[in-house]
Structure 1
C-alpha cells in the first residue's frame, strides 16, 4: 500500500487481523448477527449482502476490509471502507463483538479506517493525475460513518475521536391498514413496472435527480448493480414513471423487503430504498403517485407498513410530502464526518 502510515499499526494486538474473503464469510456474518442481537439495529448485513460486497472491483475486500479473530478463531471485530474514485469522502462500516466493546478495539478500527482513507485519497489523486486529468488535485481526505441515534456508545466513541454530526435522517413508517391516498399523474406521464430493461435508464435518472442532494454522488454501473441486485431487492414492489412521448424516465421508486428482519421486528414492511424525480418533472404529482402505488403494492404483498428514510434537510421538501401521505418518524440516524 502507498502512504506513510501502516493502517494496521493501531489495531488491537490481542486479535489476529486479515482481510475479509470467501473463507471468512460465515465468521463475518456471525459476528454482525451476534452484535445485532444486542444492539438491535433497524437493519444489518447478512451473509448474502457480504458475499455481494466481496464482488466489488472499486473497493476490493483484500485492501478495503479487516477482520479480527481471537485465539479460538472467533471473529470479534471488523471494518471496511468504500469510496468512489472521484468522490469527496470515504464511508466506513464496522462493528465490535459486544463482549469486546469498551476495551479499545473500536478505537483501533477507527484508526485503521482513517489511515486507509488517507491512502485511498492519495491513490485516487495519483490515478487522476497520471491519467492527465487537468482537474486532478489533492483533496482533503474525509471519512463518514452512519449510526442510529439510540446507539449512545457509538456516539461516545465517534465524538471522542474527533467526529461531528453533519446530518440527521428520519426513518418513517406508514401503516397500510389505513386508506391509501389517491394520486393522479399529470397528463403525458404513465406508471410502469420496473425490470432489467429500465436498469440503465433509471440509473441515469437517479444520478440526475440526486445531483442537488447533500452527500450524494453519481452511481456508476458497479454501484448501481449493488442496488438492483441486492438480495432483498423487490422489483415487483417497485415502479417507474415515464414520459409517454419520449419514454424518458421522470421518476422511480425502488423497493426491498427484509423477510428475516420482519421476524425480529414483529411486522412486515415494504421499504422504499430510493425515490427520485427529475427536476423538470417535479410539481406534476410524480412522487405522490409513486408512493401511493408503492403502498398498494406493499399491501397486496402482505406487508403491514410502508417505510423509508429521508434526509431531515432534504431540499425538495420530501419530509413534508411523506408526512402529508401519512408517514411518521419512528427512529433517527446520523452521519458523522471527520476531515483527516
Structure 2
C-alpha cells in the first residue's frame, strides 16, 4: 500500500488531520451529536471506533480524516475501507450539525473518493467503485452524494415484529439441531457465512479480522445467537447472530433483539431453516424481556428473505440506500 497520503481538505476555521486512537472519545461524541439530529437506526459505537485502530487492512493514518475547530473539537470526519482484492471501497463520515452548510461534507466526500481511488491504484485491481450508504430519511446526505456523482443502486429495509401474543413454532427436520453459538463454533459459522453470502449482492468474504470485529462487538449477544448442525455429520448448515442496542428503547420506544446476521448454506435452503432460527431467536428475545424482534434485509435478496420475514410477521419500519460511484 502506498504511504503517500491524499491531500487534506482546506476549510475556513478547521484543521484536518488523520484520526488517532487518542481521538476516540471526541470522535464518539461527534458521532452522537450527529445521530441526535439525524436519528439513524444505528450509529458507530465505541468498539467500532476501537476496531479502526486494530485493523491491519485499513491504516487509519492514510484512510481517516478529521477536522478540528480552533478549540480542538472535532467537527467533521471521514473514513475509507477496502479489502485488498475487494471490488469496492466504502466511504463513511459526518459533519457536526452546527457546522453544516459550509462545504465540509463536500470536502470530506471529495477526499474520501480520492483516497478510495488511491487504494484501487495501489491494489492494481479492476474498475474502481466507491460505495456509501444513507438512510432514506436523510435527505441532506442523499443530496450530497447525488451532487458528488453517486447514484442509488440498491435498497435495504429494516423490519420488526412485536413479541406480544403467540410466537411461531420452531420446526426443524429430523436430524437437525439448533445449538448455542460460542467461541468453539465461531470459525465454522464464519465459513458458513462466507458460503451462504457468496451469491448476495455486494458481499465479500469476511476474514478472521473482520469476523472478530463482528462477534466481539460490544452489542453482540452470543446468548441469543445460534447455529443449526446436521447431527449425523456435525456439519454447520445455518446460523443466526443477534445483537442488542440499548439506544433503540430510548430513541424509538422498543426494547428489541436484533438479528445481525442470518444465513443458510445454499444446499440446505428450502427446508425452513431460516424460519426455525428466527422463531428460536424470538423466543430467546422474549425470555430476556424484549418486546420486539428486528432485522434488516436487502430488498432484492436472491434467497427470498424479504417474503420469509413478511410471512413471519415482520413489517417495514424504514429504508436505506446504497449509493455507488464508478471512478
TM-score (norm: length of structure 1): 0.93
User: Paired residue for 2:302?
Assistant: 315
Following TM superposition, the consecutive aligned residue runs of length 4 or more in structure 1 with deviations greater than 6 angstroms are none
1:173-217 residue CA offsets vs partner (Å, 9 max, x unmatched): 010113111131112211000000001000000000000101000
- 2:87 matched to 1:88? yes
Q: Shift of the alpha carbon at 1:265?
A: 2.3
User: Paired residue for 2:107?
Assistant: 108
Distance 2:10 2:312 in 1: 48
Call closer, same or farther: CA 1:282–1:21 in 2, change over 3 Å: same
Q: Equivalent residue of 1:275, what SS?
A: strand
Decide whether the 8 Å contact of 1:33 with 1:46 is kept in 2.
no
Q: Equivalent residue of 2:7, what SS?
A: helix
Distance 1:11 1:235 in 2: 45
Q: Equivalent residue of 1:184, what SS?
A: coil
Distance 1:51 1:62 in 2: 14
Where do 5+ consecutive residues of structure 2 fail to align? Answer: none
1:90-114 residue CA offsets vs partner (Å, 9 max, x unmatched): 1111000011112110011111111
User: Paired residue for 2:270?
Assistant: 283
- 2:194 matched to 1:207? yes
User: Paired residue for 1:189?
Assistant: 176
Residues 45-60 of structure 1 correspond to what in structure 2 (within 5 A)?
45-60=44-59
- 2:163 matched to 1:176? yes
Distance 2:253 2:194 in 1: 35
1:113-148 residue CA offsets vs partner (Å, 9 max, x unmatched): 1111011112222xxxxxxxxxxxx41111100010
Where do 5+ consecutive residues of structure 1 fail to align? Answer: 126-137
User: Paired residue for 2:42?
Assistant: 43
User: Paired residue for 2:231?
Assistant: 244
Distance 2:296 2:50 in 1: 25
User: Paired residue for 2:136?
Assistant: 149
Decide whether the 8 Å contact of 2:129 with 2:325 is kept in 1.
yes
Q: Shift of the alpha carbon at 1:53?
A: 2.3
1:37-64 residue CA offsets vs partner (Å, 9 max, x unmatched): 1111111112232112221111121221
- 2:165 matched to 1:166? no
Q: Shift of the alpha carbon at 1:294?
A: 0.5
Distance 1:329 1:203 in 2: 28
User: Paired residue for 1:135?
Assistant: none
The worse-fitting range, judged by mean Cα deviation, of 97-106 and 312-321 is 97-106
1:144-183 residue CA offsets vs partner (Å, 9 max, x unmatched): 0001000011111111111000000000001011311113
Distance 2:261 2:191 in 1: 13
Distance 1:172 1:295 in 2: 14
- 2:221 matched to 1:222? no
Q: Equivalent residue of 1:147, what SS?
A: strand
Distance 1:245 1:115 in 2: 52
Call closer, same or farther: CA 1:143–1:3 in 2, change over 3 Å: farther
1:273-297 residue CA offsets vs partner (Å, 9 max, x unmatched): 1000001111111101100000000
User: Paired residue for 1:292?
Assistant: 279
Decide whether the 8 Å contact of 2:113 with 2:130 is kept in 1.
yes
